[in-house]
């Protein structure tokens, strides 16, 4: 914007100066010509006085002094005699000899002719020659001065326009920075009202919007936390029911499931009340191994063959352990929810140049496909074709994208469904969470 405003002011100032300085330059040239012509006429008239005095010595001395002053002076006396600078008898001179004082153009300049009548021998003509340089004396300097003045005015206009543009663009740039911070989740960002009244009004509106968004999110967090906290009552009753089981092994197994569910509810409450999501890191091998071991118990009960291929060495990823565990649970939960009992599934974790690749595949019906064979799995939040909440794949996608990774849907060679997550490594190696 600053550049466009500077160009606009430069163009406007240039047009105004051209409209003003061009007539002024022509006026300066005309005034210079008029001044030179007036001076030459005055010289010619003074010489004419000497011609009328009929004193040859005085006349010759006057002509020499007049010529020495700058402009060549010639006196055409009657009967063809000439005094002063050599000059041809032009048509204008012959016309002046008839008794008319004239000004005529001549090669290289202009000649001023004054007729002197009343001489016994006839009419004399005094000629003063003005060269083109004499006619334009001082014009070039005046034009250069006007040009410098015009450039100075244009520069001053651009400078003033740039200062005014900065006064407008600085608050707008600050508003853009604040809006970008709000877009990245920094709800504490506020704009400092400044600049023109319209920009200040926008800044105050943006601050009000940011405050309103913060209030709505805080209310939503507390609502989610309250709803999640209500689950503790049925969990407590379920724990009491588990403790009343007569079979110790069955009671221990149910209690372990209740403990896991309670930890999940606690994590939901904690996560809902977090103002921002901190970027963490963890060892993907250990987290995936732990969650696969948890789901393997249920797989054994349902007769599902499980193939696990995990990288043995630690594989750090830019995802917290809680988020990665929730992601794996969501994907494995989809396998159990959308495939029949006895359907096998496989979990593979392989290192890549950027991080790790987590693949979970099953031999179930797979994702819907288009006529061209492209997978059109339900990645839209809340959308499911099997009667579920439709949040599992969205949780996995958001987990991958929050770390800078991606999620891909596909089908394994033997048919079924396959979900592949590309999780990048953390920027710096540190203790895993």
Instruction: Please spell the DSSP secondary structure of 2-38, one letter per residue.
Output: HHHHHHHHHHHHHHHHHHHHHHHHHHHHHHHHHHHHH
Q: Residue 201: inside a domain, yes or no?
A: yes
Longest Cα–Cα distance of the chain, Å, equals 162
Q: What is the mean pLDDT of residues 65-86?
A: 84
Q: Final residue of a domain: which of 229, 263, 286?
A: 229
Q: What is the mean pLDDT of residues 135-154?
A: 89
Least confident segment among 73-82, 92-101, 220-229, 314-323: 220-229
Listed as own residue / partner, the contacts of 205-209 with beta carbons closer than 8 Å and 24 or more positions apart are: 206/175, 206/178, 206/179, 206/182
Asked if residue 344 has pLDDT above 90, the reply is yes
Examine the domain organization and report whether 173 and 305 are in the same domain. Answer: no
Q: Final residue of a domain: which of 243, 259, 276?
A: 276
* Percent of the residues in the chain that have a pLDDT greater than 70, as a whole number: 85
Distance, in Å, from the CA atom of 293 to the CA atom of 316, rounded to the nearest integer, reads 20
Asked if residue 281 has pLDDT above 60, the reply is yes
Q: Residue 433: inside a domain, yes or no?
A: no
Examine the domain organization and report whether 300 and 380 are in the same domain. Answer: yes
Q: What is the mean pLDDT of residues 201-219?
A: 87
Q: With contact defined as beta carbons under 8 Å apart, do 124 and 78 qualify?
A: yes
| CA-CA-CA-CA torsion sign (326, 329, 335, 338) | negative
Asked if residue 43 has pLDDT above 90, the reply is no
Model confidence band, residue 431 (pLDDT cutoffs 50, 70, 90): very low
Q: Residue 293: inside a domain, yes or no?
A: yes
Asked if residue 1 has pLDDT above 80, the reply is no
Range of the domain at 214: 141-229
- Predicted local confidence at residue 54, as pLDDT: 63
- Predicted local confidence at residue 380, as pLDDT: 52
Q: Residue 257: inside a domain, yes or no?
A: yes
- Predicted local confidence at residue 297, as pLDDT: 87
Distance, in Å, from the CA atom of 204 to the CA atom of 207, rounded to the nearest integer, reads 5
Is 240 strand, coil or helix?
Answer: helix
Q: Residue 237: inside a domain, yes or no?
A: yes
Which residues are within 8 A (CB) of 34 and not within 5 positions of it... i.e. 6 or more apart? none
Q: What is the mean pLDDT of residues 212-240?
A: 72
Identify the CATH number of the domain in which residue 45 sits: 3.30.450
Examine the domain organization and report whether 269 and 202 are in the same domain. Answer: no
- Predicted local confidence at residue 377, as pLDDT: 53
Identify the CATH number of the domain in which residue 387 sits: 3.30.565.10
- Predicted local confidence at residue 361, as pLDDT: 93
Examine the domain organization and report whether 313 and 392 are in the same domain. Answer: yes
- Predicted local confidence at residue 371, as pLDDT: 53
Examine the domain organization and report whether 207 and 222 are in the same domain. Answer: yes
Examine the domain organization and report whether 252 and 173 are in the same domain. Answer: no
Q: Residue 13: inside a domain, yes or no?
A: yes
Q: Residue 387: inside a domain, yes or no?
A: yes
Examine the domain organization and report whether 305 and 328 are in the same domain. Answer: yes
Distance, in Å, from the CA atom of 204 to the CA atom of 194, rounded to the nearest integer, reads 10
- Predicted local confidence at residue 273, as pLDDT: 55
Examine the domain organization and report whether 112 and 38 are in the same domain. Answer: yes
Tokens of 353: 């140049």
The number of folded domains in the chain is 4
Q: What's the mean pLDDT when you consider all of the chain?
A: 82
């Amino acid at each position: 914007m600053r550049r466009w405003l500077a160009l606009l002011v430069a163009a406007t100032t240039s047009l105004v100066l051209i409209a003003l300085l061009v007539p002024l330059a022509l006026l300066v040239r005309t005034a210079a010509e008029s001044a030179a012509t007036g001076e030459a006429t005055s010289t010619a008239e003074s010489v004419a006085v000497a011609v009328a005095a009929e004193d040859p010595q005085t006349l010759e001395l006057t002509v020499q002094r007049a010529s020495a002053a700058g402009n060549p002076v010639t006196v055409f006396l009657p009967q063809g005699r000439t005094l002063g600078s050599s000059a041809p008898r032009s048509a204008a001179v012959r016309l002046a000899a008839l008794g008319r004082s004239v000004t005529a153009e001549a090669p290289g300049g202009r000649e001023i002719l004054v007729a002197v009548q009343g001489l016994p021998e006839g009419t004399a003509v005094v000629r003063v020659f003005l060269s083109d340089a004499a006619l334009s004396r001082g014009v070039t300097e005046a034009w250069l001065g006007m040009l410098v003045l015009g450039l100075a005015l244009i520069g001053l206009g651009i400078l003033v326009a740039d200062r005014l543009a900065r006064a407008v663009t600085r608050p707008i740039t600050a508003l853009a920075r604040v809006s970008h911070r709000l877009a990245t989740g920094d709800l504490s960002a506020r704009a400092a009202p400044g600049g023109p009244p319209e920009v200040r009004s926008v800044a105050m509106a943006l601050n009000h919007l940011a405050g309103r968004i913060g209030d709505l999110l805080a209310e939503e967090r507390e609502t989610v936390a309250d709803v999640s906290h209500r689950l503790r009552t049925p969990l407590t009753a379920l724990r009491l029911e588990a403790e009343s089981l007569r079979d110790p092994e069955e009671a221990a197994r149910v209690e372990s499931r209740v403990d896991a569910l309670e930890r999940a509810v606690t994590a939901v409450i904690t996560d809902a009340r977090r103002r921002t999501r901190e970027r963490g890191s963890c060892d993907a091998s250990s987290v995936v191994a732990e969650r696969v071991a948890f789901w393997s118990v249920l797989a054994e009960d349902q007769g599902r063959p499980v193939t696990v291929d995990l990288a043995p060495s630690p594989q750090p990823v830019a995802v917290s352990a809680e988020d990665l565990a929730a992601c794996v649970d969501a994907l494995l939960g989809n396998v159990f929810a959308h495939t029949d009992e006895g359907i096998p599934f496989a979990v593979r974790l392989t290192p890549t140049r950027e991080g790790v690749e987590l693949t979970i595949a099953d031999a179930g019906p797979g994702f819907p496909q288009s006529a061209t064979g492209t997978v059109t799995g339900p990645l839209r939040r809340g959308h499911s074709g099997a009667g579920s909440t439709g949040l599992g794949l969205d949780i996995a996608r958001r987990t991958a994208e929050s770390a800078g990774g991606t999620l891909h849907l596909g089908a394994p060679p033997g048919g079924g469904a396959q979900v592949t997550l590309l999780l990048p490594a953390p920027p710096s190696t540190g203790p895993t969470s």
